[in-house]
Structure 1
Amino acid sequence: MDGLQDRAGIRFDLPTGPSRGQWQRCEELIEDPTLFTKWHDLLGDWLRARHGAAPKRTAAGYVMSWYLHVPAYAAALLLHHERRVPSLRAAELAFKLSGDRPHPDGIAVLGTEFYCLPSDPGSTLPEATVVADEHELVAVLRARYIAHAARFVRAYRTVSPLGARTLWAAATDALDNSLWWAGRHGGDEGAGVADAAFVLDTTYPPLTSASTLRMTEQREWARRRESCCFSYLLPEEAECAGCPRTCARPS
């Protein structure tokens, strides 16, 4: 996985020296949800500087989506590039906030355990758990991701105005988006779309839908969001493309 750090912008350790303090383990936020409140405050300052207002639901919606991107994108990248699934435990994931907009611009997978296929060159390593085929591999990915998201939902509900349905909708969006983006950022958008359709071939509660990726009339891939980011609450902002407030759900 050494080359993945260069190709996909994911790392497998934390830096030493002064930059170490810029990184935060997911476990720290889940165990102390007041750290999410500090993140809300930091984002609120950024929103007020750029939009003149910082509605609480908007700040909560941004942080919700940004946090869930961390386990979702770590899972998607390793599945796309290596056909592996990391443990996705909160204690084994970390992220770094950007110095400009306070969103995660670096992800670290810190655990050594992973799930893989029998053909994987690392399948004989002690930290590897071998599964029979790709169907079992994506089932593991869903289970590990849902376990992490469930801890986040429980913690985040204590410090945000958002309910469980909204949070699980955001968790669904994060996974569907990340699988798509892993392919697109890796130079094969079609493979990312295929991964999203494979992993989210149907609804797996408490996730709220199957993949919503679809080809538009302009021959571009797009998806209908399950969750709202509440950007429309900002001055002079409208709903995003694909917002569930404006897009009809299929019957």
Structure 2
Amino acid sequence: MSTARQYAAVVPSSMPSAFVLQWTLEVAAEVGVYAARHHSWIVHPADSGLTFALQPTQLYPVAAQFRRRTVTPALLDDRLEAARAAYRVDAVELALGYRSDANLGKRTRLAMVDDVWAMTLARARGQRPPERGSCCFIYVLPGVHECSGCPRLSATPSSDVTGSGT
């Protein structure tokens, strides 16, 4: 079912565009965080053969797999930092090259790269979602409020939460 049908409203393109980018980044972040936390592995998204399956009706990622990883004797914090660096290289390229009907600004895209890693790591640690620098635009749906950590809740006049910034 489409979001527009589910909410019986026209949905601005910023919301689904942000969700698709966030979900795609989240696949790489989830694999990177959990491989580093639970194994002595670093997974470089572009070099790992990373693939994922989509939920059949709403099309969000539900499963991921990879074929290659780097084994490291590094301690957990060092593995997580190496995994974040590997993720960030590919995530920045993906975010900046992502084609969208909405005008997601460069700052929003780059903030989403870091936000997705931070949210994934917080979830893995059983922590609350951290404050975000990017917006998922879920608040545009009827009856829906900002998500936890939304930059709109602590927005300053110079914040780029509209997606239109450069």
Normalising to structure 1: TM-score of the pair?
Answer: 0.55
Residue type of the partner of 1:89? Answer: A
The whole-number CA distance in structure 1 between the counterparts of 2:99 and 2:79 is: 30
Aligned Cα root-mean-square deviation (Å): 2.3
Structure 2 residue 54 is the aligned partner of structure 1 residue 97: yes
Answering whether residue 116 of structure 2 is matched by residue 174 of structure 1, we say yes
Deviation at 1:247, TM superposition (A): 2.2
Unaligned 5+ runs, structure 1: 1-44, 118-130, 184-188, 194-220
Alignment of 1:41-80 (within 5 A): 46-52=2-8, 53-80=10-37
- Report if the CA contact (8 A) 2:32-2:84 is conserved: no
1:231 to 138, 143, 147: 138
Structure 1 residue 242 and structure 2 residue 149: aligned?
Answer: yes
Task: Please tell me whether the aligned partners of residues 70 and 95 of structure 1 are also in contact (alpha carbons under 8 angstroms).
Answer: yes
Instruction: Go from structure 1 to structure 2 and tell me whether the alpha carbon gap of 1:243 and 1:135 turns closer, same or farther (over 3 Å shift).
Output: closer
Deviation at 1:235, TM superposition (A): 2.4
The change in CA–CA distance for 1:237 and 1:90 in structure 2 (over 3 A counts) is farther
With normalisation by structure 2, the TM-score equals: 0.81
Task: Count matched residues.
Answer: 155
Alpha-carbon separation, structure 1, partners of 2:69 and 2:48: 13
Task: Give 1:93 shift.
Answer: 1.0
Deviations 1:213-247 (A, max 9, x none): xxxxxxxx342122111111222322223210112
Structure whose CA Rg is larger = 1
Match of 1:81 among 10, 23, 38: 38
Contact 2:36-2:76 within 8 A present in 1 as well: no
Separation of aligned partners in 2, 1:248 and 1:54: 23
Runs of 4+ residues deviating >6 angstroms: none
State whether structure 2 residue 88 is matched by structure 1 residue 146.
yes
More strand by share: 1
Rounded Cα–Cα distance in structure 2 between residues aligned with 1:90 and 1:162:
27
Q: Secondary structure at the match of 1:147?
A: helix
Q: Structure 1 residue aligned with 2:72, among 98, 111, 116?
A: 116
Amino acid at match of 1:247: S
Highest relative contact order (Cα 8 Å, sep 6+), 1 or 2? 2
Find the aligned partners of 1:96 and 1:84 in 2 and give their Cα distance: 22
- Counterpart residue identity of residue 175, structure 1: W
Matched position secondary structure for 1:101? coil
Report the identity percentage: 26
Partner deviation per Cα, 1:69-89 (whole Å, 9 max, x = no partner): 011000011111113211221
CA, structure 1 residues 91+85, in 2 after alignment: closer, same or farther (shift >3 Å)? closer
Shift of residue 100 of structure 1?
2.9
8 A Cα contact 2:33 2:80, kept in partner = no
